[in-house]
Chain A
């Protein structure tokens, strides 16, 4: 079983919808949680970076971490066609001195 599980989708929503992307993990030692967005044939780019439990908001994006349930989420409000991409969750131990563990990604399509 993988340390980080992510629903691969694909997920298709109409423009303006609220999108919820989720990951579960098994290693309770993870402290740092990230979301990356990857457009087709491009490298992943960092969207959100959070430490420990709680919520973090950045514009239309909200990252939520529930360490008690080993569950993280990314919410996208007022989704746009430009949000169509693959979203990867990632998590790491105490620092980046080592490596992050990535989910396999969820592919999202936002239809106009």
Chain B
């Protein structure tokens, strides 16, 4: 019973590099989300998806792109990493009428 799996768990990037964060859920949830968590700023929604093939912008979408080609996967891309994107990234999934199941997070440092 894996729930929500995020890869990688840790990553160090140089400014300007690109990377993709992977999120996979095995609960057949319709909704998936990407958040970033920074000290003193709580969880901030980057992008979310209400179903396969759909995505929408959240509170802080600039500098990120997402794709949901399969229902169980939600990918978060950083095209040109900046130090301001140093953060802990959490993926979550949910059904329509219950709370979120979060992954264990990806700690990203951009130097």
Q: Which residue of A has the minimal Cβ distance to B99?
A: A46
Indicate which residue in A32, A49, A97 contacts B50 across the interface (CB closer than 8 Å): A97
Bound CA span A105–B42, Å: 7
Instruction: Among A41, A49, A99, A105, find the residue whose CB has the most chain B CB atoms closer than 10 A.
Output: A99
Contacts of B104 in A (CB 8 A): 42-43
Bound CA span A96–B100, Å: 9
Bound CA span A98–B94, Å: 11
Contacts of B45 in A (CB 8 A): 99
Instruction: Among B96, B100, B104, find the residue whose CB has the most chain A CB atoms closer than 10 A.
Output: B100
B73 within 8 A of A: no
A97 with B90: CB separation less than 8 A = no
B90 with A43: CB separation less than 8 A = yes
A88 within 8 A of B: yes
Chain A interface residue number, banded = 20 to 34
Chain B interface residue number, banded = 20 to 34
Could you tell me which residues of chain A, from 84 to 112, have a CB within 8 Å of some CB in chain B? 88, 90, 95-100, 102-105
B92 CB, nearest partner CB in chain A, Å:
8
Task: Flag A30-48 by CB within 8 Å of B: 1 or 0 each.
Answer: 0010101000011111100
B33 within 8 A of A: yes
Indicate which residue in A34, A97, A103, A105 contacts B99 across the interface (CB closer than 8 Å): A34
Task: Tell whether A104 pairs with B42 under 8 Å between CB atoms, given A96-B95, A96-B96.
Answer: yes
Bound CA span A46–B33, Å: 15
B109 CB, nearest partner CB in chain A, Å:
14
B31 with A36: CB separation less than 8 A = no
29 cross-chain CB contacts under 8 A: A34-B99, A34-B100, A36-B99, A36-B100, A42-B105, A43-B92, A43-B104, A43-B105, A44-B43, A44-B90, A45-B102, A46-B98, A88-B42, A90-B99, A90-B100, A95-B96, A95-B97, A96-B31, A96-B96, A96-B97, A96-B98, A98-B48, A98-B50, A99-B48, A99-B58, A100-B100, A102-B43, A104-B40, A105-B42
